[in-house]
Amino acid sequence: MSVETPRRIVLLRHAKAEWSQASDHERPLAERGRKDAPVAGRRLADSGIDFDLALCSTAARTRETWKLAVHEFSRRPRTVYEERLYEASLGDLIALFNETPDEVRDLLVIGHNPGMHGAADALSGSAEGDTLARMTRDGFPTAAYAVVEFPGSWKSVEHGAGRLTEYWTPND
C-alpha cells in the first residue's frame, strides 16, 4: 500500500462497565454496556470501513466490548491485545500508532478515556461538519467512537495531522 493512501484510526471507548470489587483492570461490562457494545459494532460494520487491524486493551471491559462488537462484523480483523492501551497517555497512543505496519490502512483501537477522547481531539487538525463541536460538547461517553483520517505513513501520525470525519455515541 502506498503511503499516499489515506489511513483511518477509529478510536472506540469501551462500553459501560460495572463498579465492582474487582480490580479496575478486571471490571466487567454493566448490563447497559452489554447492550451498547453490539450497537457500536453494528454501526462500525455498516460504516464501510474494512479494518485491517484491531488493537484492544487487555482490560476485561475492553475485551468484552470487542467480543460483543466484532460479532457484528462480516470479517474479523486481526486482533492484538495490547497491554500498553490500559492507562495509556496521549504520547503512549501516538507511539502505538507510529508502530503500525504500513500495510494497515484502517486501524481500530478499543481503549479507555481519557486516552480515546484525548487522541481524537489531539489528532484532529480539522473536522467535517459539526463533528468536533459535538465531540467537545458530548465528551466521549462509553461505547462512543471517533474516526480520524490522515495522509501519509503511520510514522507521520502526530498532533493535528488528521481530520475528524465521524463521531458517534450510542445516544445518536
Q: Which CATH class is domain 7-103+115-150?
A: alpha beta
C-alpha cell recorded at residue 144: 462512543
Has residue 76 got a pLDDT over 90?
yes
CA distance 53 to 102: 11
pLDDT given for residue 65 in this prediction: 98
Residues flagged as binding site for substrate: 61
**How buried is 42 (Cβ within 10 angstroms: 0-12 exposed, 13-18 middle, 19+ buried)?**
middle
Give the pLDDT confidence score for residue 158 in this predicted structure. 94
C-alpha cell at 40: 457500536
Tens-place pLDDT, residues 109-123: 999 999 999 999 999
Tell me which residues are annotated as active site: 14, 87
pLDDT of residue 4: 64
Give the whole-angstrom CA distance, residue 172 versus residue 52: 26
Mean pLDDT score of the chain: 94
